[in-house]
Structure 1
């Protein structure tokens, strides 16, 4: 294989998939405990490529949790929508899970569906680890975008401008749809509203990321509603530029591990037009409170920080 494409990182093979984001990692068995060197190598690849993928890793729920725990503390499956019965750290990503949340047809725009996980919380997950179990023979791809490169590719005046902005993140239905009674009940029971900087300084790399999750960021603080809309639409259109993204084709046993502090992703909707089933499972790792370029941390306006599932169990 071409040495320019295949990158050897000690005992692992890291095969980049695009210019700015995404790499497949080979040479590791995720069903077994990893030594400190392997954990460090995978983490280094994650920081470099923002999302890393593994193939043919047929994990049980228990093995999925055990692999994830080697990189940090696990949250409950989802702070608002619960977890898999008997496995509080695991969240089910099923084909029709959103059918219980929204009614009506969403106003579709280029960035519809793109999001960074749970940015309504003051400490969104550090990372998410998603494994494929039931995968359609075609369709159902997931996409990720690199929010660090998106920030770097802004013009210098615009970078300076957004460095000082902050926005409100909350759970709310997409434009054009109505929440179901079940969705409303879940959101009210675990209300989360947070003020985050629009630019987040990565706590490990020091990189600046354009922290503008389209699914959660509702408005910019201190500007008029029209100014907020115009600025956000400009930024959302920018962060999903194709050259910043990678598209992953799932197989049974595939695992995706992404840095939630530096990426946004898009779940597929084409599977709803297919008769095939699709089932994945996700764990998330407890995150820190984002900090902007001015040193100001995010501020929780409603709700509490997301804590480790183990701490919840002990209480």
Structure 2
């Protein structure tokens, strides 16, 4: 059965159906998915019926999968290191009560792109819902290609050649964590151009969001204002839509032409079990690169957002 695509916005986002994602896909079917992603940036797949193993295997069609940080004393809730736990649950599957884990997750409600704080960027993220709250908890998406195209030419000229400095801990600070700038600057920050050509479509896109702390070569106050202004520009109503989740739904988004953020819900009382795979940019077809940059990064987490320590203790 051929892929069916129903656009959500005129140039961004589509609901897709017609493929059984629980079974191995043919090369032609994989191309149908990547063509849809190149065109729409976000694809929504309802009621997939996928389990964890099928989720991981399907994701491998698109490249090398990043792996969650590893600690000898950490209890893993999920069965594969390729699954990032995007839930509000602890290692025992209960709603976490740990302040550091709660504070860390607040950053997910800011507009961001996954893993922009790493030198090796993420292309696709594939998020599968296992359990969702009855109210809230949607995910919002923003179109950074159309937003770039609509910028005044003088702003495009200003951005040409500019490089953003990106930090995971900066986005956590922006979400309310008590982390000093000096502590952030003492840790690695990833350099990425603010504007790049999206390979799949040939269109230019902004690559900027909550992880972007400063702009190289610009005064801090001036650069941070520009970052805020660009995020506000990208998240105007004409560029955004939200997805209301049901168990079994999957959304694939291309971090290189979009931003996203989680919606509010009753975090303290309602379970939201979401599991994500992430594909490293430039590894298509599947690579055998087995490095593990996330373990090193999270080993130096500021205490106030040390989600790994929370998981190790099962809180």
TM-score of the pair, normalised by structure 1: 0.78
Checking the alignment, whether the CA contact within 8 Å between 2:138 and 2:264 is kept in structure 1 is no
- Deviation of the 1:149 alpha carbon: 0.7
Count of residue correspondences: 275
Q: Secondary structure at the match of 2:290?
A: helix
Q: RMSD of the alignment, in Å?
A: 3.2
1:221 aligned partner:
216
From 25, 28, 31, give the equivalent of 1:34.
25
Q: Secondary structure at the match of 1:271?
A: coil
Q: Secondary structure at the match of 1:94?
A: coil
* Cross-structure match for 2:258: 263
Residue of structure 2 aligned with 1:248, choices 221, 224, 243: 243
Does the residue aligned with 1:34 lie in a helix, a strand or coil?
Answer: coil
- The alignment status of 1:281 with 2:275, answered yes or no, reads yes
Distance 1:82 1:169, change over 3 A: farther
Would you say 1:61 and 2:52 are equivalent positions? yes
Alignment of 1:20-31 (within 5 A): 20-31=11-22
Structure with higher helix content: 2
Aligned 8 A contact 2:128 2:251 in 1:
yes
Report deviation, 1:270: 2.6
Aligned mates of 2:208, 2:70 — CA distance in 1: 20
- Structure 1 residue 60, shift from structure 2 partner: 1.3
What SS does the corresponding residue of 1:161 show, helix, strand or coil?
helix
CA deviation profile, 1:78-112 (whole Å, cap 9, x unmatched): 699997553111111112679424659x8x9xx96
Residue of structure 1 equivalent to 2:168: 171
| CA–CA distance in structure 1, aligned partners of residues 11 and 200 of structure 2 | 18
Q: What whole-Å deviation, never above 9, does each CA across 1:143-181 have from its counterpart, x for those lacking one?
A: 1111111100101111111122112111212234225xx
Q: Deviations over 1:180-237 (max 9, x none)?
A: xxxx9xx99xx541111111221232211111122x1001111212211221121111
Matches within 5 A, 1:28-177: 28-77=19-68, 84-95=77-88, 99-101=99-101, 113-172=110-169, 173-175=172-174, 176-177=176-177
Secondary structure in 2 matching 1:25: strand
Q: What are the equivalent positions in structure 2 for 1:192-211 lying under 5 Å apart? A: 192-211=188-207
Residue of structure 2 in register with 1:3 after alignment: none
Structure 2: distance between partners of 1:145 and 1:237? 10
Q: Which digits, 9 at most, give the CA deviation of each residue in 1:46-66, with x for residues without a partner? A: 111101011111211110011
Contact 2:88 2:102 in 1 (8 A): no
Once the two structures are overlaid, the 10-residue window that deviates more, 54-63 or 73-82, is: 73-82
CA deviation vs aligned residue, 1:116-156 (integer Å, no higher than 9, x gap): 00111111111100000001222111011111111001011
Instruction: Find the aligned partners of 1:95 and 1:75 in 2 and give their Cα distance.
Output: 21
Structure 1 CA distance for aligned equivalents of residues 119 and 83 of structure 2: 21
Q: 2:208 maps to which residue? A: 212
Structure 1 residue aligned with 2:290: 311
Q: C-alpha displacement at 1:310, in angstroms?
A: 6.5
Structure 2 vs 1, CA of residues 169 and 309 (structure 1 numbering), >3 Å: closer, same or farther? farther
Distance 2:50 2:161 in 1: 43
TM, length-normalised to structure 2? 0.78
